[in-house]
Amino acid sequence: MTQLVLDRVSRWYGNVVAVNDVTMTIGPGVTGLLGPNGAGKSTIIHMMGGFLAPSTGSVLLDGEPVWCNEQVYRRIGIVPEREELYDSVTGREFVLANARLHQLEDPHAATARAIATVEMADAQDRDIRTYSKGMRQRIKMATAIVHDPAVLLLDEPFNGMDPRQRLHLMELLRAMGAAGCTILFSSHILEEVEQLASEIEVLVAGRHAASGDFREIRRLMTQRPHRYTIVSSDDRALAAALIAEPSTSSVRLDGALHVDATDFAAFARALPALARRHAIRLLEVRPDDESLESVFAYLVDR
């Protein structure tokens, strides 16, 4: 049960505040750090990785500070965003060097395992300079997991990967998360976070805007009505009936029936009852903005 705790962490550069009073706890499983560009995601990951000191607050891994503490790297693996790798070595040699730097007992075995996990065994003896972007990303991944870390930090890991590589990496991260590893990855691509993360932390303009399951976050934002798209046997009659309900704030007909519901629970109870009473058959009931995108847009706009 490895926990990474940020406690009232702020980071500023002169007059520019990159991270503003953020408190979060990252536990086992896959957590997505979501935010628009410039929101401070990279800064937070750098602070978690001990590359940057917080201006105030503390970053603790199981109670130990991460900054200026080399031994903590036994438990942390980092996949940075920057592409630079060592020149003129093969992939295998690079991972092997990292394994040795970790002072592992059997660096060769660990290297072989790590490379097999990221499926780079075919290309491991080629010079790193000949690798494509996705291959470099996978080698970076291999160096990050070669010492079986309890915590894995990834900064925009899916950048430059083709769909097949992305799926593979997602599978890998899911498996590691299920096995108890604490994984945090940052992204500004909503689909990735939606598919992979069980928990999200949303960062907007340096501030911690929301955390938790994104569906739950949606529930919490009761000021904004839930949107549904309904296709039924008689849309207009249903619309007339729905607008009479107190839980509905607006209805709109254009091809299908669009409903804004202010009270989700009441609406969920009212809809089937109404349909039955007016003998209308419901063909399709679809939440319009349940996705992360609308949650995100809402948070950013606020």
Partner 1 sequence: MINTTVARLTIRAMLGRRRVLLLFILPAVLLAIAVLARVVAGPEPQLARDLLGPFAMGTLLPLLALITGTGVIGSEIDDGSIMYVLAKPISRSSIVLAKLTVAIGIVLAFGSLPILLAGIITADQVDGPALAYTVASAFAGIGYCATFLLLAIVTRHAVVFGLLYAVVWETTISQTVPGVQAASIQQWALATTELLLGDQASRAGMDAAVGGIGAPLLAALVVGATWLAVRRLRVLRITGDTT
Interface contacts to partner 1, rule CB under 8 A: 42-43, 46, 49-53, 68, 70-74, 76, 78, 80, 82, 84-89, 97-98, 100-103, 143
Maximum CA pair distance of the chain? 75
Distance CA 207, CA 205 (A): 6
Q: How far is the CB of 53 from partner 1 (least distance, A)?
A: 7
Q: How far is the CB of 157 from partner 1 (least distance, A)?
A: 15
Dihedral sign, Cα of residue 25, residue 141, residue 147, residue 85: negative
Pick from 162, 184, 157, 190: which is nearest to 83 by CA? 157
Q: How far is the CB of 121 from partner 1 (least distance, A)?
A: 21
Cβ atoms of 19 and 206 closer than 8 Å: yes
* 74 versus 219: smaller Cβ distance to partner 1: 74
DSSP H stretches of helix in the chain: 41-48, 91-101, 107-117, 133-145, 163-178, 190-196, 214-220, 235-243, 264-277, 292-301
* 94 versus 228: smaller Cβ distance to partner 1: 94
Burial 59-89 (b: 16+ CB within 10 A, else e): bbbeeeebeeeeebbebbbbbbbeeeeeeee
Q: How far is the CB of 52 from partner 1 (least distance, A)?
A: 6
Q: How far is the CB of 77 from partner 1 (least distance, A)?
A: 8
* 206 versus 225: smaller Cβ distance to partner 1: 206
* 1 versus 68: smaller Cβ distance to partner 1: 68
* 96 versus 202: smaller Cβ distance to partner 1: 96
* 49 versus 91: smaller Cβ distance to partner 1: 49
Q: How far is the CB of 172 from partner 1 (least distance, A)?
A: 20
